[in-house]
Structure 1
């Protein structure tokens, strides 16, 4: 199909399958631009490649230790001993389980929670990089070395500025607590907060397709990363230990609350039984001679009432004592429900950084930015050859100077017009 002028329509490709002439011209111009800027592209590639090599050489290798843990199947339906919630007359309604609300799917969240990380940061480890055995908090907050300072203010400058702004913002101080108050809350210090944040990037927990947590148990993988393989394995061990402690605390929290309540009621029942027995004993002691003759019906009635009270207190005391014993046994039976299926071992190979990948990505970035630079330089050179280009280039150069940028800000704010009017 041709247009009235006899030229081929732009929508139909030529019969020989070649690109239209206009597209071939644009492609030739692009290749010509890249060929003219080959030196600049090579320089960019060399620069980015050198930066990638330096990064791969200076960054410490990281090792990842993994462990597999399984949640044991246990009976969580009853929780407390049978019959404990059916005690009548005591106001005792303890519900149906000591681990209510704790599902298998919550274990990965617990493993990476602040409570577990805070407990790990307070543990002591051997750090080969410093040759010292200190807590994780002290290691994270140690003074930076020369190389760390150079990296902090060069490659890591954006993150350094972000951390500085966060420190300037600060965090709210806890409200003062009166002496002797039971409402005191322990807050992590600033050093511990930094250690918790650092450890959050080194711990991960996940469940695989073959270990879906359902029903009574499941497989879960815990991974910890450190700059030393032995340290990574030790971190993993401590995470598992504190995970076990945290799970046990959560699972037994309701049982412990019930045990405290029953202990309080048991002590009160014991005091009431002692008081009732004392009243009966004193009554019998004062009225022994009269009760022997059996001539005072009122005294006989009062003696029977005191005896009934003592029997009721004895029954209540005996029932609470039985429930207290059962609850203590139930608390002892609630052992940790996290079992190590595969212990963490020091890894033999580093997991990061992937040095070849870093260098390849650096070379590609160098080629990309070099091509953009060559294209922009070609455009600027073509504009310089145009008749109107000198004035435009002069205006661009003037606008990009500090004075020109400040003048542009004034114009946007309307300050320039006000100065001219005055």
Structure 2
């Protein structure tokens, strides 16, 4: 059941939304189909085509709701263009012909991402709603990505759904001419999906491979769809270069390994080579944006023979360019790490302490974690210990908590 949810969710949701004409209703019907599957499959076994089974049940539930609404003369919010589908036509094996708009985005998952990133919604709402409904990211993990509380994100998602309904926003697959205006939101969705999987905000494992692999698939499909867009190549490069270290980010016991402690001989050199080529290509266009610049930083890390031998001055210059292009407090915090390697931990600590006054980073556990590391390097153990405790209080991932505890323990006074 878990595997079916991860593999089939987006396809079942897309097929159901086309019948329901309402993304919220489609989500409810798909959830009901999975509940029905839990009972039926436990009793009868998993069918040969679980996706077709789930789609048939979800679509029939949607049609039942629409019939009741018609009887009650309620208004149906148009979330996708209406489709002439009679109840008798819904069969598990049915495959609907693709429209010209759907051919413009040939991959089912990517098609639904573009569809959900509707420009009538605010950018944050587009991204958050797509992560939740299409990518299956929990509300809590989305909240962590946006540096807000879970309740705040839940309210934003609810408001976005209500706006779709109240404004009767026509959700449909965008045609080729509409793709560029939605691209930045789509890139943000894929990047946040990867980030959530690369270092899971919650849970026992550092990496959620299903989310990472899904993001890589979407990035590759984007590259095939829009090969002339430098930021598409930049995003794919960033994901490949970052994921190349996956096998070395934890030890045999699942404990986090810092970048300086990883076995670089085990990094995926094929992925690094491909990623570096995409970086060079993106930078040569003269239109490199935030993803290409981040990928350039990742490429310098990937090619350095050791942590100490990394070209930190060049990384700092790239962070300066990135911060000018994308003035994010998270970018500024990451830049402080490069500052510590070029100018020393004291200069970096001053920048981190300034960032600590930014309310957007109030719940961001990497700020006190980075501060703790700088204080440790400055031989200020008591203050470093306090900062590690602050980071622990904000961290829910087991692997990261174990790492922070390991760093904290030697700083504690011994009896």
- Length-normalised TM-score, structure 1: 0.21
- Length-normalised TM-score, structure 2: 0.22
Higher strand share: 1
Q: More relative contact order in 1 or in 2 (CA 8 Å, sep 6+)?
A: 1
Higher helix share: 2
